[in-house]
Structure 1
Amino acid sequence: MTELLRPHAEQEYADELAALAKVDDRPRPPRWRLSPWAVVTYLLGDTLADGTVISPKYVGPRRLVEVAVATLVTDRALLLLGVPGTAKTWVSEHLAAAICGDSTLLVQGTSGTPEEAIRYGWNYARLLAEGPTAAALVSSPIMTAMTDGRIARIEELTRIPSDVQDALITVLSEKTLPVPELGTEVQAVPGFNVIATANDRDRGVNELSSALRRRFNTVVLPLPASAEEEVEIVARRVEQLGRSLQLPEVPAAVAEIRRVVTVFRELRTGGTEDGRTKLKSPSGTLSTAEAISVLTSGLALSAHFGDGVLRPSDIAAGILGAVIRDPVSDRVVWVEYLEAVVRERDGWADFYRACREVTG
């Protein structure tokens, strides 16, 4: 198979999924490829009895993952809630891949998402030629998941207009999708469920109605609890991206990964790691996902315009772009942080000079 830039989870981790299915002797819900125990193991990682290593896909509280998987066993839909960069999309993709072997039944929420993306549409050439017929109907990912007993995913649910969101109410409560043009309906078969993601920190958010929110069980994904945990997450994800982009290996970049994570955590929490200095926080979220982006860009710079070793000069511009969203207030926060913290920190002289150079 031609090498892919970004394989789906069920493609990239096909060997792990197959190994888990082979040893998984626990009860499986209808149309699930793995038992709930095996799904949790796939996400959190483990070493199987036959020696197969299952790599962790999510680093966080085990109980949260167990609650999410248990929700999908029931007839309740799952809402993954959290600030940007808490791996909501990543978790939803891997849940779908482990449960039904297909993470591609996806509705991407935007301010322009139409109702047809949730319900169904029409092949207008056939509609004009034949009128409303089953052959002219175009299934949405939700409808396909209902008929096949699979998991449908909705990304950024709160970005979808409220009237379009409400098209989900009947689907989630009655497990039915009416098609009045044909005088019929689609009824969900066992195995169907919905995983939605949402956050309330970005602009352009449409709050969920109370009627729709009641149809979901909500699991809040937190930011990494410790610096070590966040370094582990960032290093693993940067390594995965680096392999597909043929960038330098991560082990040589661990020091800079730790430095970026430290900067992001201190500005995000409003204080230095030792608790001695209070800081102002910028307007951005400074999420784990943004740290991954900064480091991946830095690795590309070091590979193509440097000596292949990640250095402060390779990440300074990326950090500046992540921190300064408001050119006035955020710049003040960043400069104060550089002068009060970075300048005085042992071993950070090169980083300070690189950041001052790009900050101006």
Structure 2
Amino acid sequence: MTTATTTRPGETLRPHAEDAFAEELKALAAADDRPRPARWNLSPWAVATYLLGGTLGDGTVITPKYVGPRRIVEVAVTTLATDRALLLLGVPGTAKTWVSEHLAAAVSGDSTLLVQGTAGTAEEAIRYGWNYAQLLAHGPSRDALVPSPVMRAMQDGKIARLEELTRIPADVQDTLITILSEKTLPVPELGEETQAVRGFNLIATANDRDRGVNDLSSALRRRFNTVVLPLPATVEDEVDIVSRRVEQIGRSLELPEAPAGADEIRRVVTVFRELRNGLTNDGRTKVKSPSGTLSTAEAISVVTNGLALAAHFGDGVLRASDVAAGIQGAVVRDPSSDKVVWREYLETVVRERDGWKDFYRACREIS
């Protein structure tokens, strides 16, 4: 027998965006005097400010949730205020899920109306299911119907989220066509339908590396406005993103502050960018790229793991030896080919770079 437990404030490992940034959302709502679409908690301007960061008139600092071109965020936000759904597209690790969550939190105050797409996602996950005990006892009824997150968003006028759209089977994807075009979800078993109320929209995410897996039909693609999230444009942007996310994650895990390892964060980002681009940052040396994506999200994971090593088995300061194993694990996904790429990069680039001797030694020891 199990008993329910109540999570005390501060114990949640990863609070939802609307909880983690509740004070910022409250301050924005109080300062926001611009027109708001129906059932939006904030105006489009305030939603964009929440994503991109800024300082309000009363001095409240809104931290950036996304570092990238402002126009991309503005287009994404305004799309949600129209009758078209939003598709966030990009390579793995470009913050599609992160942006999706924060958009829903800012617009609806609820980022939890989520469908996680997989190869096994069924129509019921998008439309509705049934409480089979009720169904067998009393037949089809409203009491027996179990609404999906999408159906609940339609009823409440909120933003629904659908992750990894192109991993969902094509016939299940097309369940969305009627929802997005007619803003209606038929329930033929009851002879009824659920009509979306004002404020409803949907944000889907997809990796462009998944093209050819379950490509969207032309009919479904027309229902989306596609916004491509690029990789960070500069080293500084990517270092900023990694530092901010590592600081947030580290705070929840009670790890040392990220600035203690600022040099190592920059080093991790530099390695990832050079191997990803096939060229050193100074443009002088071409290098081979490994089979993996080496995304910003993976850099965040490497640094966070390094901080945990430094905290529990070191002096709390992030050093080359703390990130070496994580970097090698991220680079060497295919042992037969990536080992050669990694070894060549170490010998031709890292070994000759000023100030990187400690990193070279740490990586060679792991290798």
State TM-score, norm by structure 2: 0.97
Which of 39, 45, 54 is equivalent to 1:46? 54
Residues 71-220 of structure 1: pairs in structure 2 closer than 5 A: 71-202=79-210, 205-220=213-228
Q: Do the aligned partners of 1:47 and 1:54 also contact (CA within 8 Å) in 2?
A: yes
Q: Which range is displaced more, 106-115 or 198-207?
A: 198-207
* 1:357 positional shift: 1.0
1:2 alignment partner in structure 2? 9
Question: How far has the Cα of 1:46 moved from its partner?
Answer: 0.4
Q: What SS does structure 2 have at the residue aligned with 1:198?
A: strand
CA distance in 2, matches of 1:304, 1:208: 46
Q: CA deviation at 1:2?
A: 2.6
User: What residue in structure 1 maps to residue 248 of structure 2?
Assistant: 240
Aligned-partner Cα distance in 2 for 1:274–1:47: 35
Query: C-alpha separation between the residues in 2 aligned to 1:208 and 1:317?
Result: 38
Aligned to 2:76: 68
Secondary structure of the structure 2 residue equivalent to 1:281: coil
Q: Aligned-pair distance for 1:207?
A: 1.0
Structure 2 equivalent of residue 281 of structure 1: 289
Runs ≥4 in structure 1, deviation > 6 angstroms? Answer: none
Show the counterpart of 1:224: 232
Measure how far apart 1:50 and its partner are. 0.4
2:309 to 301, 305, 320: 301
Aligned partners of 1:126 and 1:136 also within 8 Å? yes
Amino acid at match of 1:277: T
How many residues matched?
Answer: 359
Contact 1:302 1:310 in 2 (8 A): yes
Cα distance, 1:202 vs structure 2: 4.8
One-letter amino acid matched to 2:9: T
Q: Is the 2:166–2:211 Cα contact (8 Å) retained in structure 1?
A: no
Note the alpha carbon deviations across 1:143-191, whole angstroms, 9 max, x for none. 0000000000001111111111110000000000000000010000000
Instruction: Name the stretch that deviates more: 193-202 or 241-250.
Output: 193-202
* 1:17 correspondence with 2:25: yes
Deviation at 1:209, TM superposition (A): 1.0
Residues 1:342 and 2:347 are matched in the alignment = no
Q: Which runs of 5+ in 2 are unaligned?
A: 1-7
| Mapped partners of 1:356, 1:274: distance in 2 | 24
Tell me the amino acid that sits aligned with residue 46 of structure 1: G
For residue 316 of structure 1, the aligned residue among 317, 320, 324 is 324
Question: Gapped runs of 5+ residues in structure 1?
Answer: none
Give the secondary structure class of the aligned counterpart of 2:274: helix
Report Cα offsets for 1:249-274 as digits up to 9, x if no partner: 11111000000000000000000011
8 A Cα contact 1:248 1:308, kept in partner: yes
1:203 Cα deviation (Å)? Answer: 8.6
| 1:76-105 residue CA offsets vs partner (Å, 9 max, x unmatched) | 000000000000000000000000100000
2:3 equivalent in structure 1: none
- What secondary structure, in the 3-state scheme, does the structure 2 residue paired with 1:231 have? helix
Name the SS for the 2:172 alignment partner: helix
Q: Percent of aligned positions with the same letter in both sequences?
A: 80
Q: Name which of 236, 252, 255 aligns with 2:260.
A: 252
Change (3 A) 1:235 1:76: same
Aligned with 1:134: secondary structure? coil
CA distance in 2, matches of 1:206, 1:358: 39
Tell me: CA distance 1:53–1:294, structure 2 relative to 1, closer, same or farther (3 Å).
same
Question: Aligned-pair distance for 1:200?
Answer: 2.5
> Given that residues 159 and 204 in structure 1 are in contact (C-alpha distance below 8 angstroms), is that contact kept between their aligned partners in structure 2?
no
Aligned to 2:5: none
**Distance across 1 between alignment mates of 2:83 and 2:241:** 32
